[in-house]
Amino acid sequence: MRELIKKYPVISSILFFVLTIMIPWAILFPLFNDLPYYYGYVIKYALTLILSVLATLFIYKKVPFSLKNKNYLKGLFSFGMIGLICAFIAFFCSMSKIDRRTNFNEVFSFVMYILFVALSEEYLFRVLILGILLNRYGHDKKKALLCVMISSVIFGLRHYINLITMPNTVISTTGQVLFTFMAGFYLSCIYIRTKNIYICLTIHFLEDIFTMCWLLFSNDAFNNQNVDGNLLNTTMLVLVHIIYVIAGIFMIKDKRYEYENIMEV
């Protein structure tokens, strides 16, 4: 089984996506639908993280990345500055009128939800799926970029699941799919260059929490989640974030790039 996974990494990547996200969500969504708003999401993403870790341990003999947080700040500001800037821009662009009351339980569950989104998706798509692809194909710059492309496409398409809970947001969700493809491309390149998953986690967490925090404080933001976006505005948002792809390509094509096998087989 391990050899088949390593021999057919693209098929294996899609299979892991289905097993860790699609099937659990299909089973758990109706069961946890009556829980307080963010609790069900925390459980779903926590389960995704657990399944992804178990899959990694099944395939590989050792932890697939160093738990030592080396050169975190240097990597964050050298390679992740664009992501940090985009996160702050997203905060102001999604700003809404503050008129909603919250309590500690809601704020805590919201923060945990965003944290588990970042943890589960970075582990699944960067550590597990990208790692499997790189281990098989990524031994030069062009092939490394192809691996990044494949893992990012899967990462982007994953967000069409949001139509289950917000069926009226076809334009917004499609824009999100395109945007997250670009963000995934950027984060994957950072992971390859720095070998530090914590940098990717930080950028992912900040991007999500700054964009979505207005759900806690604004009735308009909270009540309009199932309202579709404007096509022009969505298109402009996607076009602006092409900078993620450009930055990622430069990271990999940099003459200092030397492939190192992230996954320890």
Q: What's the pLDDT tens digit per position in 133-158?
A: 988 887 778 888 999 999 999 999 99
What does pLDDT average to over the chain? 87
What average pLDDT does this structure show over 82-101? Answer: 88
Decide if 163 contacts 25 (C-beta within 8 A): no
> What is the reported pLDDT for 176?
92
- Residues 32-76 have pLDDT tens digits of 777 777 888 898 899 999 999 998 888 876 655 666 677 899 899
Tell me: pLDDT of 263 over 60: no
* Helical pair 170-194 and 197-212, crossing angle rounded to 10 deg: 150
pLDDT tens-digit readout, 181-227: 999 999 999 998 888 899 999 999 999 999 899 999 999 888 888 88
pTM for this predicted structure: 0.92
